[in-house]
Structure 1
Amino acid sequence: MFEIATELAALLILAAVLAGFVDAIAGGGGLITVPALLLAGASPVEALATNKLQGTFGAATATLTYARAGHVRLREQALMAVISGLGGAAGALAAHLIPAEVLRLIMPAILIGVAAFFALRKGLTDEDRAQRMRPAVFSFTAVPLIAAYDGLFGPGTGSFFMIAFVVLAGYGVLKATAHTKLLNFASNLGALAVFAFSGATWWIIGFAMALGQVLGAAIGAKVAMVVGAKVIRPLLVLTSTAMALRLLWQAWG
């Protein structure tokens, strides 16, 4: 039934549950699912395409959970989400223009910087702060750039959206997390629309992993809303550092 052995499929579904939980809180779920897909025998393109499929469901679940609790107003953020979706599609289309090796070299330093910011920056709470960039400017600069990166490469997208919302838009940590999942869902969907025509997606295992993502994301979003910045900050530091170390390991390997 699956594209791979049933026991491998079961392990991938479990990996998706864990990834959905982590991603709903701090991003970085791809750090779990992409290596798992590669270990299961997927090619890099198959792993990326299948990851976008299952990750879209997790991001959608987290977004709806946050929206129902009033942490994000979907209608008010519709334009920003559309821009993110177009950015994700553009990044996926341009994936062959920029060598992945170039991104792998610069990404560890950026991710370590993200981890250091959330670990050392004082005053990061769930309260909003001074806005440094108007919403319209933010929507047409930071959002498409980060979304295009998501379609092009992927790891760290949630962390980049988080730091942009906190530093530029002035959002509190929980509000930034909620809005990050909305834009991450949109960029995933845009990239998936492109990858769907590549013929590289493992559709059956991708949808099975999506069920795991839905479960993990629903639990993760509820945990984040209960404890807020107390769990989001350390998990962001952990996932950003782990992604940086993995990319360094790949580059040196």
Structure 2
Amino acid sequence: MDSATVTILLTAAACAGWIDAVVGGGGLLLLPALLVTAPGIPVATALGTNKLAAIAGTSTAAITYARRVKIDWAIAAPATALAIITAGCGAALAGAIPATAYRPVVLAVLVAVAVFVVSQPRLGTLAHPHRRTRARTITAVAVTGIAIAAYDGLIGPGTGTFLVLAFTTLIGTDFVHGSAMAKLVNAGTNFGALVVFAATGHVWWLLGAAMAICNIAGAIVGARMALRRGAGFVRTVLLVVVLALVARLGYDQWHTT
């Protein structure tokens, strides 16, 4: 790769780290950047290299949040443990399913998420601990540690956003606490997927390590901004990221039909 291409990828990694730390969805930026600037790169290799950068950022953000926010470990711990295993299973199947098979489904889900967030202006601005029941707790662990984690290993972009929304709607966290828990689970999904991609030779280590450093820098800035500005700021970024995901997937779908 020439210096211009590397610069573009490192910049994308830093921006993706910021997005991931605030609300998730950094893969929307970094994964397409890899596929566009490195023509011919296998999808699995792009996913694996992206995971190497992403795990650095999400882990850094998780530590930053954990130092400032009280984590609900009764949910976060089992969800993260499950996520490592499930994301690894998803990664083992990456590349076997064509984009045309999953893109319309993900697009429909994202449109529904955007409508839901817009129609619920108070969602995530305040915590609602009364929503947390035993059944909701089990559901939250299953949805985040199994369903969303499998999606991350198999596809990826938007995972952090789905995690934040899952915690917010299922157990009534505000966006800041939901984002903090999402980072822990997302670090687990990234780790599980990375192990599989590394074992199958689908990681560009040198490039991934350089992007990881930039991703960490972006994650530190993003986590601190989210903690300082609060739930309203996170909600705004969440909606922007969801709409951007819809636009990106809609564009891809339109150009392949």
Give the TM-score of the pair, scaled to structure 2: 0.91
Unmatched 5+ residue regions in structure 1?
none
C-alpha separation in 1, matches of 2:139 and 2:248: 33
Aligned to 1:210: 212
Q: Aligned residue for 2:34? A: 37
In the TM superposition, what is the alpha-carbon distance from 1:80 to its structure 2 partner? 2.0
Q: Is the 8 A contact 1:138 1:168 kept in 2?
A: yes
- Confirm or deny: 8 A CA contact 1:49 1:195 kept in the other structure: yes
For 2:204, give the aligned amino acid.
W
Asked if 1:20 is matched to 2:17, the reply is yes
Percent identity between the two aligned chains: 37
Which runs of 5 or more structure 2 residues have no equivalent in the other structure? none
Looking at structure 1, the residues matched to 96 and 70 of structure 2 have their Cα atoms a distance apart, in angstroms, of 37
**Aligned residue type for 1:60:** S
**Counterpart Cα distance in 2 of 1:170 and 1:73:** 12
Q: How far apart, CA to CA, are the structure 2 residues paired with 1:47 and 1:141?
A: 26
Deviation at 1:10, TM superposition (A): 1.9
C-alpha separation between the residues in 2 aligned to 1:90 and 1:243?
24
Partner deviation per Cα, 1:56-82 (whole Å, 9 max, x = no partner): 101001000001113426687332211
Q: Match of 2:199, SS?
A: coil
Alpha-carbon spacing, 1:125–1:251, altered in 2? closer, same or farther (3 Å)? closer
Whole-Å Cα distance in 1 between the matches of residues 245 and 229 of structure 2? 24
CA displacement at 1:97 relative to structure 2: 4.9
One-letter amino acid of the structure 1 residue matched with residue 216 of structure 2: V
Q: CA deviation at 1:53?
A: 0.9
Q: Which has the higher helix share?
A: 2
Post-superposition offset of 1:48: 1.2
- For the 8 Å contact 1:72–1:175, the answer to whether it is kept is yes
Q: Once the 2 structures are TM-superposed, how far is the Cα of residue 200 of structure 1 from its aligned partner?
A: 2.4
TM-score, normalised to structure 1, is 0.92
Three-state SS of the structure 1 residue aligned to 2:171 is coil
Paired residues of 2:69 and 2:177 also in contact (CA < 8 A): no
With 140-149 and 210-219 compared, the bigger mean Cα shift is at 140-149
Contact map agreement 1:28 1:239 (CA 8 A) in 2: yes
CA RMSD, 1 decimal: 1.8
Q: 1:60 to 1:37 in 2, by over 3 A?
A: same
Q: 2:241 aligns with which of 221, 234, 239?
A: 239
2:180 counterpart (166, 178, 181): 178
Q: Following the alignment from structure 1 to structure 2, what is the Cα–Cα distance between the partners of residues 252 and 198?
A: 32
Q: Is the Cα contact below 8 Å between 1:119 and 1:233 reproduced in 2? A: no
Give the CA deviation at 1:123.
2.1
Tell me the matched-pair count: 250
Cα distance between partner residues in 1 of 2:190 and 2:117:
24
Following the alignment from structure 1 to structure 2, what is the Cα–Cα distance between the partners of residues 87 and 240?
A: 24
